[in-house]
Amino acid sequence: MSELEKELHTQMVQAVEGIKDSKKMGISFSGGVDSCLLAKICQDLGYNVLLLTMGFEDSHDVEFSKKMAKVLGMNHEVEIISEKTFSDVARKIWDTINVDNLSWNENCIAFYYVAKLAKKNKIDQVVTANGIDELFCGYNAYRDSISEGKDVVLEMMNDKLDNETRMMKAVNQITSEFGVKIVQPFLSEKFVEFAKTIPLEYKIKDKDDLIRKHLIRKLAISIGVPEESALKLKKAMQYGSLIHKNLLKVKKTWNMNF
């Protein structure tokens, strides 16, 4: 493990330790590199962890998360989204957050089901890996900005961090219905400050870089995250769970535009 990987690991451990309470910890889990890395850190710290996954039946995230949870040897629960009630849930969330933004609505819907699952398992705090994609150039949009120079990338990073922070407030507004709080250790001020000091070449190479998040992936492999997860291309929660597909379908019946 390189010195930079070691320092990143230390900072991530400290960020996670900073949000832990004394009760059982839930982790929002897709099986992707970010949630696997978070889960492995918590496992190595000896925390009482339950992995929580939601999605429509046979969706990518439901199937892949089961596989990765088994490899990690961690307890795992899945919430299958009902097609019968999805439209009502989605509309209720739209009315509650009142934000004309498809991604915000999709994420709020996703975490609604995560929180529902957490409550079933008597968990009142769910930890997520939100912030890694923003800070380590996980999004495809970073490929466009890298050609325009470092300053453009950093400006995009700040915009995405601001959006993520505001969106997670809306998420917690939704999950409060279940008495569940969603926390993001990698959006803490200290971790964000550290992550911004990591040179860009450890995050993204150029406009053709489909992998990205290179340092995160290296660290993940170093601490025992399965390579199948660590090297897997990003698939956002709303796509992997099939929420995006089903929301586009049901919103047509609302006669509204996102």
Condensed to tens digits (0 to 9), the pLDDT of residues 48-61 reads 999 999 999 989 99
The reported pTM is 0.92
Check whether 22 has a pLDDT greater than 80.
no
Structure tokens belonging to residue 76: 């795992």
Question: What is the C-alpha to C-alpha distance for residues 61 and 113, in angstroms, rounded to an integer?
Answer: 13
Say if residue 255's pLDDT is above 70.
Answer: no
216 and 132 Cβ atoms separated by less than 8 Å: yes
Helix (H) or strand (E) holding 82: none
CATH of 3-246, one of 3.40.1350.10, 3.30.70.270, 3.40.50.620, 3.40.50.1970: 3.40.50.620
CA distance 35 to 26: 11
Rounded to an integer, what distance in angstroms lies between the CA atom of residue 80 and that of residue 247? 15
| Residue 239: per-residue pLDDT | 81
Half-sphere exposure of 252 (CA within 13 A, CB side): 5
Query: What local confidence, expressed as pLDDT, does residue 258 receive?
Result: 47
Which range among 5-14, 96-105, 235-244 has the greatest average pLDDT? 5-14
Residue 140: both structure tokens together:
């495809």
**Quick one: pLDDT at residue 256?**
54
Instruction: Fill in the amino acid letter for 132.
Output: I
Q: Which amino acid is at 191?
A: F
In the prediction, which pLDDT does 254 show?
A: 81
Domain ranges in the chain are 3-246
pLDDT tier for residue 72 given thresholds of 50, 70 and 90: very high
pLDDT given at position 232: 86
